[in-house]
Amino acid sequence: MDLLRDIQIKKLDIQHLDTITMFHVKHCNEYKITKDEFLTFLSKDQYCIYAAFDGQLVIGYIIYLRSIDMADIVYIFVQKEYRNIGVASLLLQISCTELSVEQLFLEVSFQNKTAINFYTKNNFKTINIRKNYYKNSDAFVMCLCNQ
Ligand SMILES: CC(C)(COP(=O)(O)OP(=O)(O)OC[C@H]1O[C@@H](n2cnc3c(N)ncnc32)[C@H](O)[C@@H]1OP(=O)(O)O)[C@@H](O)C(=O)NCCC(=O)NCCS
């Protein structure tokens, strides 16, 4: 918990386009997101990104696609060196409170045991299975109900 004391969670805006793109390219090779896609996530009303900062440095982020009272998690990512100390949980909890939606949904690969553990630990429940959702695997559809 002490390690988390200096971590700040902030909503990003268009001024952060280069920062978040560079962070993603440098640290995340498992899921491709282009600069144009980040531009969309930062400029369209239905999307939003929250990032975790250690001082001035981005160390993780979460991208949402929002509609009125619900949202989908498009992606969540934490830099390897900062994993397993609660950064993603903090990102999720603070952004979720700010978004103030009743339900959160996501798809996660059957193979991504770490992410499944992470979502389960954060009270998401499996509500469905999507066959062949990913190239090499099926996906769980999970939901967090905040009612
Ligand atoms: C999934 C991810 C975002 C979790 O980030 P994190 O900051 O390490 O997560 P937290 O520290 O908040 O972990 C909370 C819980 O997740 C689970 N968890 C985290 N890392 C784990 C690991 N390596 N193995 C198993 N479970 C793990 C645990 O249940 C943990 O709770 P615990 O510490 O009480 O055991 C991170 O591993 C990541 O960026 N992975 C690559 C991107 C990805 O797969 N995103 C999800 C796409 S659907």
Q: What are the domain boundaries of the chain?
A: 1-101, 102-147
State the pLDDT at residue 2.
76
Q: Which of 87, 105, 117 has most ligand 1 atoms within 8 Å of CB, for mutation?
A: 117
Sign of the alpha-carbon torsion through 79, 47, 145, 129: negative
Query: 18: burial class by Cβ within 10 Å (0-12, 13-18, 19+)?
Result: exposed
Inter-residue contact 27 to 79 (CB < 8 Å)? yes
Q: Report pTM.
A: 0.96
Mean pLDDT on 137-147: 92
**Smallest CA separation from ligand 1 atom 25, residue:** 114
Q: Which class would CATH give 1-101?
A: alpha beta
User: What does the alpha-carbon distance between residue 107 and residue 143 come to, in Å, rounded to a whole number?
Assistant: 9
Whether 1 has a pLDDT exceeding 90, the answer reads: no
Inter-residue contact 7 to 1 (CB < 8 Å)? no
Q: Quickly count: other Cβ atoms within 10 Å of residue 78's Cβ.
A: 23
pLDDT tens digits, one per residue of 36-93: 999 999 999 999 999 999 999 999 999 999 998 999 999 999 999 999 999 999 999 9
Alpha-carbon Rg for the chain, nearest whole angstrom, is 15
CA of 35 to the centre of ligand 1 (A): 25
Around ligand 1, the residues with Cβ closer than 6 Å are 75-78, 83-89, 108, 112, 114-115, 117-118, 121
Q: Which of 1, 53, 59, 84 has most ligand 1 atoms within 8 Å of CB, for mutation?
A: 84
